[in-house]
Structure 1
Amino acid sequence: MSGAEQKLVGLWRTEVERHMVGDPAPVTELMLTLLADGHALLESAPGLGKTTLVRTVAISAGLDLGRVQCTPDLMPMDITGGDVVLPEQSNTPGAVVFRPGPIFHQVVLADELNRATPRTQSAMLEAMQEYTVTSAGVTRTLPKPFHVLATQNPIEQEGTWPLPEAQLDRFLTMIRIPTPDAKALAAITRGTTGKMMSTPKPVMGPEDLLALQEAVRQVLVATPVRDWAARLVLATHPASEHAPQDLGNEIECGASPRAGQALLGMAKALAFLEGRSHIGMVDLRRVARPVLRHRLLPTFAFLARGGDVDAVIDDLVRFVPREHAA
């Protein structure tokens, strides 16, 4: 990392942390997701600051932010946009023009995404993978950088549609925001019930983030580290020779190859954030939870007894050997 890049990242992190109180892990994980050029799914109980975190990170990075409040009656066209007929009061009455939806912002905040119907959820699939939107047979390119930062509430399930595995896999990370402790809660109430808080200020621009993302891609990965990441992904599949024998009691289906890409991408971003030019296995271990927790399909019996996927991920990280046995 050059001195200019280090200064830029430091300004960004300082500005975000100036407005966020509590566990710093979600802040770091969301910044890493953007540095790794990915999308994030934020999950927590209501009122824990998911939307505030997204807005703070996006605005401080100088990104154009669009918001979609997902409801059961939300239509795909409400997200992607579509053709409309101009009214008589316009300069060209009766003309058909394309009116872009909120998906054409650089950061799209999809609030309570699991409240949208599957048809509407699927409207984001092309955008998240191909970075394009097709409407009326015309394909349009989305702006760069482009990130979908979605939220969901894991507690209230009435009136929701669980996200399909195909869409979950397109999120680079799932970030869980924990309940604040007494000290953090006191700081939150002190900062929000007194004098009006200042709003986040942009400390860089979209071009700066694109340059940082390119620099993250240049972080070096040694062959043993890359091989360990591959073995960790394979270890999530109960039928794999790399998996523990009893994994089938907890996990029904493991992670896709995208998980390997996400592990290395997030580990590179972590090393870059900390000023290192290469990653180690410790970096992969530190990003394993947010990368894998939404990609593992737990068994019904595991969920029924209150199992936590994060604990399974921790066990797999400890189980996979550093060196591959020939």
Structure 2
Amino acid sequence: MTDLPDHALPHRRRNLLTGEWVLVSPQRNLRPWQGEVSSPSAQERPGHDPNCYLCPGNSRANGDTNPDYCGTWVFPNDFPALLASDSKIIDAGPLFQREAVRGETQVICYAPDHALSLSRMDDAQRRDVVECWCDLSEKAGADWAHVQIFENRGSMMGASSPHPHGQMWATDFLPQIVADEDAAQAAYRENNGRALLDDVLAEELKAGERLVEVNDNWAAFVPHWAAWPFETALVPRADRARLEELGDDERHDLAKILGRLLARYDGLFGCEFPYSMGWHGAPHGMEGSCDHWRLHAHFFPPLLRSASVRKHMVGFELMAETQRDMTAEQAAERLRAVAP
């Protein structure tokens, strides 16, 4: 082990957006695997599943009937994690703090076709989803402090339905991870006079070794500090703080780069690659300037070695510090090798 090249030696990398450290141990990819082997998500599905709660014309769990929608369709989550009404929380004292929260949650059906996914849609269909994201961010942002738009793809990531869909959770508080990113970006702007992700993106474009996809308006790369094996970040090349600020060309190019990036994921192990993805933008409830913010999306896919072997965040990761088994550069190289 002592004669390994520098890039294969264990080391730590700092996540500039959160301040957390990641232990990188690329030599561990050599170890034999006798752990969990999961079944990959089925790729072939019918265009309409009569048992699906999200397909057009079907009944949902609460008894409501879905309309015969023909594009992207949004409805209030039948099992919301947040409620818009005020709630009374009993004060448990200084040691066991609680606070009341309010919010709203929406389900975003990407398309009526049960067999589709963001990676399988054409650019026009993906553009409809992009427009929906931008519209939801603007409308919900008028009422709530933070708008979180996200997707869990695949049963491995806890998706309750294989129908192509995402979610929007809007809150009257700033969630912890977003608050951490806000603080880190604000501190960087204060100390350097520039936006953190502007400098990160400039370095990624110059170096190229962690880039996966790039077009006139967007760049997708494996962050230097990536925690998940094939994690990527998607960042606009212009100064944009929120989804609704994107221009027509940027929305068009977002639909295109999403298709290419997700096709690379699916091609890596020949399966519908599971992931959790989400958008982070300047919180709508923040006071003062948001010049330190740059809109970005995170993709957190769990597969490690194959369609059936996933990375688990356990042991050292839960008790000490996040750890990964390949470098970000190695992950980007493997994603670039897949024809999109």
Query: TM-score normalised by the shorter chain: which range applies?
Result: under 0.3
Query: 1 or 2, which has the higher strand percentage?
Result: 2
Provide the TM-score with structure 2 as the length reference. 0.26
Provide the TM-score with structure 1 as the length reference. 0.27
Query: 1 or 2, which has the higher helix percentage?
Result: 1
